[in-house]
Structure 1
Amino acid sequence: MAQFPLHDETTAPEAARPHLASAKRRMGFITTLNAVMAESPELLAGYNALAEQFGKSSLPTPAKHVVWITASVENDCAYCVAAHSTMALRSGLPQETVDALREAKPLPDTALEAARRLTRSMVTNRGWVSDEEVDAFLAAGYTERHVLDIVLGVGMKTLSNYTNHVAHTPLDPAWESQEWTKA
């Protein structure tokens, strides 16, 4: 089995070092995900750029957390479910909402449920969502721009979820309280 190195600012390829420093400023530490991605400076740069752009997207912050967790649950990425559950709780998303997302259960908030359903469909159907699913999302108060924002968020999570699958990224201590395994 391949052993992917966990890089830091001193061991990473030179081109990855500024991206690790930026991630460290943003998160307060270098996550093991970023440490693994640093082996490919281009992957790390691309992932961080997508994360920054998704953060700036027009999707409301609670819906962004729904996208991150839902895509990670559907892709069976234990690392990302734990990380994003922790961050969602820190942002003020209710525990009940985070628990429902982790269990792939419907949400009581109709707008967040619409985001969960569209994200889930986008991941499981590899982007081939029906017009009816998009219309249901729009009927919940979202816009066409929000649909495309979800595409961006799913793309971001695909990079991290797949990296974690291939590299068997160890869970950071910061995410351990939200450790997750698919039921």
Structure 2
Amino acid sequence: MTHFPILTMESAPERSKPALKQLEAGFGMIPNIAGVMASSPVLINSLVGLFGNVHGGSFTEPQVQTVLLTDAVTNECAWAVAFHTALGLKAGLDPADVEAIRERRLPKDGKHAALSLLAKTLIEKRGRLDDRDIDQFVAAGFGKDLALEVIAIVAASTITNYTGSVTRIPLEAPFQAHAWPA
């Protein structure tokens, strides 16, 4: 098995340190995924820039976490499922909706269900949505422009999902309670 080191603020390349500082300020820690990504300043800086835009966008934090958790489950990244389960619950997602997503079902909240379905469909169809996919999303009360914003969230989560799957990083203690599959 190939080992990918989890870098720290001290061991990371200089160009990765500002991104790590930003993540540490936001999470109160440097997540293992960020420590692994830090060995590539291009990757860690791309992630931080994209996530900054995603979390400053049109969706509420529970809506963003709905998409991120759906993506993690759809991409089968155990680390990201546990991480976004914790963040989703912290953001106020209904625990039953979180469990539904973890079990590959739609949340009962209509808007969250529409977001989850669109995210899952984007991944499964590799972006080749049809009119029906968009119409369902719009029928839930979202504008077509927000379907494009979901693409940005999916892109951001793809970075973490793929990194987590390629590197098989260990799950931190604070997220162990949300290990997946449960």
Instruction: Give your verdict on TM over 0.5.
Output: yes
Q: Which amino acid aligns with 1:165?
A: S
Q: What is the root-mean-square deviation in Å for CA atoms of aligned residues?
A: 1.1
The answer on whether the counterparts of 2:98 and 2:107 sit within 8 Å (CA) in structure 1 is: no
1:33-65 per-position Cα deviation (integer Å, ceiling 9, x unaligned):
000000001100001111111001112322211
The answer on whether the counterparts of 2:97 and 2:106 sit within 8 Å (CA) in structure 1 is: no
**Partner Cα separation in structure 2 for residue 13 and residue 2 of structure 1:** 21
- Name 2:12's counterpart in structure 1: 12
- Name 1:148's counterpart in structure 2: 148
- Name 1:100's counterpart in structure 2: 100
Q: Does 1:67 align with 2:61?
A: no
1:96-117 per-position Cα deviation (integer Å, ceiling 9, x unaligned):
0100010011222111111111
Q: Which amino acid aligns with 2:17?
A: R
- Name 2:28's counterpart in structure 1: 28
The answer on whether the counterparts of 1:72 and 1:161 sit within 8 Å (CA) in structure 2 is: yes
**Partner Cα separation in structure 2 for residue 114 and residue 17 of structure 1:** 37
- Name 2:129's counterpart in structure 1: 129
Q: Which amino acid aligns with 2:156?
A: M
Q: Does 1:181 align with 2:164?
A: no
- Name 1:54's counterpart in structure 2: 54
**Partner Cα separation in structure 1 for residue 13 and residue 61 of structure 2:** 33
Q: Which amino acid aligns with 1:94?
A: D
**Partner Cα separation in structure 2 for residue 3 and residue 51 of structure 1:** 26
Percent identity for Structure 1 against Structure 2:
31
**Partner Cα separation in structure 1 for residue 39 and residue 31 of structure 2:** 14
The answer on whether the counterparts of 1:9 and 1:17 sit within 8 Å (CA) in structure 2 is: yes
**Partner Cα separation in structure 2 for residue 17 and residue 112 of structure 1:** 35
The answer on whether the counterparts of 2:70 and 2:116 sit within 8 Å (CA) in structure 1 is: yes
Q: Which amino acid aligns with 1:100?
A: A
**Partner Cα separation in structure 2 for residue 105 and residue 44 of structure 1:** 31
1:65-117 per-position Cα deviation (integer Å, ceiling 9, x unaligned):
11000011000000001000001111111110100010011222111111111
**Partner Cα separation in structure 2 for residue 63 and residue 28 of structure 1:** 22
Question: 1:100 is paired with a residue of what secondary structure?
Answer: helix
- Name 1:80's counterpart in structure 2: 80
45-54 or 55-64, which moves further after superposition? 55-64
Deviation at 1:14, TM superposition (A): 1.2
1:130-158 per-position Cα deviation (integer Å, ceiling 9, x unaligned):
11110110011001221011100100011
Task: Flag structure 2 segments of 5+ consecutive residues without an equivalent.
Answer: none
Task: Flag structure 1 segments of 5+ consecutive residues without an equivalent.
Answer: none
Q: Which amino acid aligns with 1:154?
A: V
